Amino acid sequence: MERKYADIEGDGGSDILGQVISQQERLAERMKEIGQVIAISSGKGGVGKSALTSNLAAALADEGFRVGALDADLNGPTLTKMLDARNQNLYLKPDGVEPAIGVLGVKVMSMDLFLESYDTALSWKHATGLAEDAFVWRGTIETSTIREFLADTIWGELDYLLVDLPPGANHLSTLARWIPGITGLAVTIPSGISQLVVKKSVRAVQESGGKLLGLVENMAGYVCPECSQISPLFNSKPKGQRMANSLGLPLLSSIPFDPRLALGCDEGKPLVLTHPNSPSVGEIKLLANKLRELS
Ligand SMILES: Nc1ncnc2c1ncn2[C@@H]1O[C@H](COP(=O)(O)OP(=O)(O)OP(=O)(O)O)[C@@H](O)[C@H]1O
Ligand SMILES: [Mg+2]
């Protein structure tokens, strides 16, 4: 392909721009083999993005779909644990890196697979050798790392690639620059605080032209593990429908809190596989079916 840009002057001949362009070309080629790329997003932390990603991945794989899961939370990666894909060696091949394999064959890529131990924190060294420079450039470095995970993982043919995002408003818009067909789910919980923040992040995505499939209200009630009765978890009734209406989005799912789902995340055993009769699983499976219709 003919270069559209001149090489950056003074980059020591390393042709950084050329490397980025060829990486984006590799990324585009990989994405051609993937049916739907869906990012699980939220402006708020701790609302269940990763728990939802892992259970959705398992639900889709259980239906026979080929599923990949990219953990885009570089500083707090949890998908390898939730999908039982830890402690695996990564194999470097001429065309990229083989992903780890989690439950039901879900292909997983995560920073967790590159860190020395579970307790190792992610830190970067800048080419200048100065920690301050790495700190200043951290956002840029992390964005490039996610692009690299997308471009250089041998995803192969997939029906779905789910991307588990860290909390924040702009990640989906960044991904959309490389993957024009990407869509997102916005996750909230019934608390007023969460709704306040998630509304802002949804607006930010909408204003930047990002495409959200809909809203998911997680922790909408509490499932009694003994009798499966659902009782309120937060003081107020779930307000997901009202919030979805105000944002012009469909409410795709209201998933209650089931303590066994949290335990399953900790043990790498998604609830959709261990307790298929839980009301939470019913909602997650319905959501998986809706994703098929929305494709
Ligand atoms: N519906 C649910 N039922 C039971 N436990 C849940 C449910 N949703 C999430 N959890 C639990 O709540 C905790 C927070 O969820 P999770 O880590 O998925 O949030 P997150 O939005 O990914 O957080 P972060 O923003 O830090 O990435 C986890 O322990 C998870 O297992
Ligand atoms: Mg998470």
Q: What is the pLDDT of residues 237-286, one digit of tens each?
A: 778 999 999 999 999 999 999 999 999 999 999 999 999 999 999 999 99
Give tens-digit pLDDT for 66-85.
999 999 999 999 999 999 99
Pocket test for ligand 1, best of 111, 165, 261 (most atoms within 8 A of CB): 261
- For residues 284, 288, 293, 294, the Cα torsion angle rounded to the nearest 10 degrees is 90
Ligand in nearest proximity to the CA of 279:
1
Give the pLDDT confidence of 216-245 residue by residue, as tens digits: 999 999 999 889 899 989 877 778 999 999
- Mean pLDDT score, 112-130: 80
> In this model, does residue 7 exceed pLDDT 50?
no
- Closest-CA residue, ligand 1 atom 29, reads 262
> 173-189 as b/e, with b when 16 or more CB fall inside 10 Å?
bbbbebbeebbbbbbbb
The phi and psi torsions of 54 (rounded to 5 degrees) equal -65, -40
Q: How far apart are CA 179 and CA 173, in angstroms?
A: 10
Distance CA 105, CA 157 (A): 13
Residue 4 pLDDT grade (very low, low, confident, very high; cuts 50, 70, 90): very low
Residue 10 is predicted with a pLDDT of: 53
Q: Poorest-confidence range of 32-41, 168-177, 271-280?
A: 168-177
Does the domain at residues 16-294 carry the CATH identifier 3.40.50.300? yes
Domain ranges of the chain: 16-294
- pLDDT the model gives residue 126: 67
What number does the ligand 1 atom closest to the CA of 256 have?
1
Q: What are the b/e assignments for 44-69, b being 16+ CB within 10 Å?
A: beebbbbbbbbbbbbbbbbeebbbbb
pTM score, two decimals? 0.93
Enter the tokens of residue 72.
Answer: 């885009």
pLDDT band at 175 (very low <50, low <70, confident <90, very high): very high
Find the residues whose C-beta lies inside 6 A of ligand 1. Answer: 42, 45-51, 73, 76, 78, 166-167, 218-219, 255, 257-258, 261-262, 265, 280
Give me the residues paired with residue 79 across strands: none
Separation of alpha carbons 244 and 215, rounded Å? 6
Task: Give the tens place of pLDDT for each residue, 137-147.
Answer: 777 888 989 99
Given a cut of 60, whether residue 11 has pLDDT beyond it is no
Query: What is the residue-averaged pLDDT of the chain?
Result: 91
Structure tokens at 277: 């009769």
Helices 259-267 and 49-62 meet at what angle, rounded to 10? 80
Report the range out of 119-128, 163-172, 202-211, 257-266 with the highest average pLDDT.
257-266
How far are the Cα atoms of 51, 84, 252, 276 from residue 62, in angstroms, in the given order? 16, 15, 20, 11
Specify the pLDDT at position 13: 65
Q: How far is the CA of 19 from the centre of ligand 1 (A)?
A: 37
